[in-house]
Structure 1
């Protein structure tokens, strides 16, 4: 299938969108963001370890280093996102944490000399506009929360950009295993250091921890690793941004939030931007290696 990587990433975005609902319910029931972070990655690590147990002994030293590095970036993403939410509004937090469509091409250009095509540049700018229409309801102001939220976007963008380079030499699943395990250890240390009372586990809480851990964390990052093997980091960033669309739609359907006309327009613009990334603007006609192609 020509676009199987894109479909894997789109499926990851759809699954990840549902994760916002599970996290919201867990927050409403008294769990801290750090408890949720540890719980979901613990579940993900255990499930992936059980499912891919034959791959664990095959993890090479290089894959261990790569997965650990990506895990640190991923942990930083969640920490900065959480801290940013404490100092700014959810809409500003959501917008700035979803600007990776612009940040990733810049990182790839500066760090790896991969100049983005005009189609990618235009698609990235349109994506930011779409996310703004979908997320920002209050005035976008520069405060500590905004800086931390944008820092989360940079950390996640670095994770995508470096994963694209590391997948050329490492196995997708084994990187995901190490990456999830690394975040689990880091989040455990944070919970251990910060302490706090953990609410009793109810059936609903267990169900949401399982969904957030198995699907929105374990399967999500395996799909990202597998999908990014067949497409570029720039395209990955654009497709993953559609997670905000699925989150908005599922939130309206399952959590009772209303999606405004402006939000629907934002959704259309984001989807249009992803399709635009396939446009032949600025592309060379000579054949290229899919692992290095910049869409």
Structure 2
């Protein structure tokens, strides 16, 4: 199926968009960002481990190595994302953390000599404009939070670029298992170091941890791992950026937020950028 990878990545972006709502509720109920990260990845690791319990024995040393590297980058992404949000506004944080559509093509270009097509470069620029219109409400300012937020985007971009390079020789499910396990262990120690009282575990909190862990983390990264086998890292970054659109729509339905006209224009630009990435600009004709 020609667009199998794209469809799986769009599904991942849709599922990931709902994770922002679960995390928002958990933070509102008094959980620290580190507890939220640990809780969602613990649930994801346990559920994937149980569902794919036979797969653990067949994970190769190479897959453990690749999955651990990707897991470290993923842990760095969530840690930098959380720290950045503490020192800047949510709008600046959201904008800078969704610039991987621009970063990934250039990482692949300079690190792996994979020169992106003109259409991909143009799509990346349009994506950033769209994300800015969707997310930014205050003026951007260069502060510690902004630097950390952009660093989170670079970490996630490296994760995507390396996955695109390494996933072909690995089993996608094995990589997702190792990734989630590594982040769960790391976030456990980070939450212990940072401390903080754990609020009572209510029924609502359990439901949101299950949603964030099972769907928005476990299923999400399985879909990303499988989907990226069928498309490029640059296009993966563009498609995953649509997560901000789905988050805005789901937030409007479940959390009562409303998009402005500028926000709707941003959504259209992001979807248009994904279509632009398919254009044959700057691509060599195949023999």
Q: TM-score range by the shorter chain?
A: over 0.9
Match of 2:222? 222
Deviation string 1:156-193 (CA, Å, 9 cap, x unpaired) is 00000000111121111000100000000000001111
Structure 1's unaligned 5+ residue stretches are: 288-295
Match of 2:82? 82
Match of 2:9? 9
Q: Does 1:61 align with 2:68?
A: no
Residues matched between the structures, number:
287
Quote the Cα distance in structure 1 between the aligned partners of 2:261 and 2:191: 40
Match of 2:137? 137
Quote the Cα distance in structure 2 between the aligned partners of 1:122 and 1:219: 31
Dislocated runs of 4+, deviation >4 Å: none
Match of 1:276? 276
Q: Secondary structure at the match of 2:286?
A: coil
Quote the Cα distance in structure 1 between the aligned partners of 2:82 and 2:167: 28
* Structure with greater helix share of residues: 2
Match of 1:92? 92
> TM-score, normalization: structure 2?
0.99
Match of 1:47? 47
> 1:39, CA displacement in angstroms?
0.3
Match of 1:111? 111
> 1:14, CA displacement in angstroms?
0.2
Quote the Cα distance in structure 2 between the aligned partners of 1:191 and 1:90: 22
Q: CA RMSD in A?
A: 0.6
Match of 1:293? none
Q: Secondary structure at the match of 1:284?
A: coil
> 1:225, CA displacement in angstroms?
0.1
Match of 1:125? 125
> 1:284, CA displacement in angstroms?
1.4
Q: Secondary structure at the match of 1:115?
A: coil
> 1:61, CA displacement in angstroms?
0.4
Quote the Cα distance in structure 2 between the aligned partners of 1:5 and 1:272: 18
Match of 2:203? 203
Q: What aligned pairs does 1:255-270 form with structure 2 within 5 A after superposition?
A: 255-270=255-270
